[in-house]
Amino acid sequence: MSAKILGGLKKGLIFVISAPAGTGKTTLVRMLQKEFSCLVESVSYTTRKPRPGEREGVDYYFISEAEFAQKLQEGDFVEHAKVFDHDYGTSRSFVESQLQNGKHVLLVIDTQGAIQLKDHYNAIFIFISPPSISELRSRLYTRKTDTDQSIEHRLSWAEKEMALAPRYDYHVVNEDLYTAYTVLRSILIAEEHRNR
Ligand code: 5GP
């Protein structure tokens, strides 16, 4: 079959995805990548230390604060932000080369970074949220990857991020994974077929 449901553009699109921790964004992004080979997720640079199991160049490029400051000064980031006391940035050269190769680029970044891109890139902005803060609280406590204090900190940040959801083009509520995935993939397909 030569016709493609996704991946038929000469120059790809940027899809910015923001979602509080515990919303299921990693699972949803993996599902998209498994279905569509024309999607690439940008690997960010961060000054945070790797968590157990995280791999250099796969999850993040882990760099020092001095290296981050240097890259920032050289204009290597299309956006950057401080999240939970660490710096994160998206590589300009990666994003631009992938778009030129006809790939769609997924940027899974926080709301501060997304807002910076709004003024400079013609990207599509998607916010994924949990059904409620109380549901998110119970998911984070069940996941047990953070201390209680860190969970409460993440929840208060999640509330602030969720207040910005109306500024995104799309808002997907992940109450049920299959439904959220169906909505998400429909957005990508429709956006590729939009007249621009
Ligand atoms: P974590 O350290 O838990 O992997 O990520 C913390 C937060 O930083 C998440 O909301 C994640 O989406 C965000 N993040 C990861 N990479 C970037 C980036 O390059 N830029 C921005 N602005 N946020 C990022």
Write the residue with the smallest CA distance to atom 15 of ligand 1. 109
Cβ–Cβ < 8 Å for 166, 154? no
Which tens digit of pLDDT belongs to each residue from 60-84?
999 999 999 999 999 999 999 999 8
Model confidence at 120: pLDDT above 90: no
**Cα of 86 from ligand 1 centre, angstroms:** 9
Q: Which CATH superfamily is domain 14-192 in?
A: P-loop containing nucleotide triphosphate hydrolases (3.40.50.300)
pLDDT for residue 88 is more than 80: yes
Question: What HEC string does 62-99 produce?
Answer: ECCHHHHHHHHHCCCEEEEEEECCEEEEEEHHHHHHHH
DSSP reduced 3-state for 19: coil
Please state the domain extents for the chain.
14-192
Letter for the amino acid at 174? Answer: N
Q: Is 79 in the pocket of ligand 1 (CB under 6 A)?
A: yes
90 Cα to the center of ligand 1, angstroms: 10
Query: How many CB atoms lie under 10 A from the CB of residue 163?
Result: 10
Residue 22 Cβ < 6 Å to ligand 1: no
Is it the case that residue 22 has pLDDT exceeding 80? yes
Index of the ligand 1 atom closest to the CA of residue 20: 10
Pocket test for ligand 1, best of 55, 88, 112 (most atoms within 8 A of CB): 88
Atom 24 of ligand 1, residue of closest alpha carbon: 109
